[in-house]
Amino acid sequence: MSEHRPLLSGDKLNLERVNFLLVDDNLQALDIIGQAVSAFGVRNIFKCQSAKEAKEIIKRTALDFALIDGEMPVENGYDLVRWIRREASEPNRFVPVVVVTGHTPLSRVMQGRDCGAHFTVAKPVTPKVLLERIFWVARDERNFVESDNYVGPDRRFKRLGPPAGIDGRRKDDARGQIGLASEPNLSQEEINSLMKPAKVAL
Amino acid sequence: MTEARLFRVSNRLKMLIHAGGGLTVRDAVARADKAVEASFPAALGSIDATLVELEASYGASAPADAPRDPRRLYLLSTQIIDVALCLQGSGIDDGARQLCDLADHCAEHGVWDREAIAVHIQALFLLRHTGLEMGADHRRRMLRGLRQVTAKCIAATAGSASATG
């Protein structure tokens, strides 16, 4: 994943042609977020109050971003995202999705991650946070993963590599031998001099 | 281990937002902040209505034999969080999240702590009406108090579970 620089106030974003899907069973929440998105310059906003309504839009409109409430009655947002990742036709199958949720215990954040969303954001969402997330997702370069039990952006954010001496399983992981020292090891005397406590003059 | 396929997908959003023109971040956020304010009166009305329903159904003034519905309690709490932008800084969203924690616990363990729930609802009323004027320390203490109330309820559940073994 590329290094993300923070969004700067002078940065310019053009959201006019973005097809933006908003899904929330709470009409007022939908209205508030819709006002913010419209003020950002988005002209094509598709507002839905249920997963069922959202699916109708998804089947007929190519989307560029989806903001989906996690907790909805009948069919929740997490199941909707899973449906998008498995059943929707391209390009909507890979549409950037941010899940929003009011209650954020770890279990729900992980639900958001594991359903195939790009990110989870806590409600209430401020315009500033929303715009930052749109920008963040736009720059997201993670691969997509498709397997029996998960479809979505690669959930592995950290690229720490395998433990030293062990070959990684990813084809672009460094070989285990590269984990060895690239400069001379310190002698014991050098180590001792680093460890020796010394008084500091204040 | 399942086979996993890794592949790149094109990011049309990235291409669109950097197409030139558009708004600066500063202007976009300023416009959006102003635009959402138009929704605040209705949002406040919604919070007030939800608080009245919470008190009537689950608060201290609710009838003793009122139905116990943790799922509905949870839903009402999330409704407050959904539109709490209109009271940003009051702490009401944090208070409502505490009530969600308590409702979740009640649903998961089949318990019902009427007093703990009533205390949370009372706190939400306070945060709605005085949260913005309240000092940050006072607000923090109140929210810490709510966490302690929930922790006590959880401990009581754990205690009775181990007693019945």
Q: For chain B, what percent of residues have pLDDT higher than 90?
A: 81
Q: Of residues B29 and B64, which shows the higher confidence score?
A: B29
Bigger pLDDT: B15 vs B161: B15
Q: Choose, out of B72, B82, B85, the residue to mutate when testing the contact with A (most A CBs < 10 Å).
A: B82
Q: Which residues of B touch A85 (CB under 8 A)?
A: none
pLDDT digits (tens, 9 = 90+) for B83-133: 999 999 999 999 999 999 999 999 999 999 999 999 999 999 999 999 999
Task: Give the residue with greater pLDDT, B134 vs A3.
Answer: B134
Complex ipTM value: 0.90
Is-contact A97 A140, C-beta < 8 A?
no
Is residue B21 scored above 60 in pLDDT?
A: yes
Task: Supply the pLDDT for residue A186.
Answer: 59
State mean pLDDT over B54-81: 94
CA atoms within 13 A on the CB side of A84: 38
Average pLDDT over residues B4-30: 91
Query: Residue A13 is inside which H or E element, if any?
Result: strand A12-13
Question: Torsion-angle region of residue A54: left (phi > 0), alpha (psi -120 to 50) or beta?
Answer: alpha
Q: Which of A105, A131, A143 sits opposite B28 (nearest CB)?
A: A131
Amino acid at A63: L
Q: Which of A26, A30, A84, A29 is nearest to A55 (CA)?
A: A84
User: How many angstroms separate the Cα of A129 from the Cα of each of A75, B31, B33, B36, B97?
Assistant: 26, 14, 11, 14, 19
pTM listed for this prediction: 0.84
Residue B39 phi, psi (nearest 5): -90, -10
The rounded average pLDDT for each run of 10 residues, N- to C-terminus, in chain A (202 residues) is 67 94 96 96 97 98 97 94 96 96 88 93 94 92 92 79 67 56 58 52 39
User: Does B81 sit within 8 Å of A103, measured CB to CB?
Assistant: yes
Q: For residue A105, what is the nearest residue in chain B, using CA coordinates?
A: B101
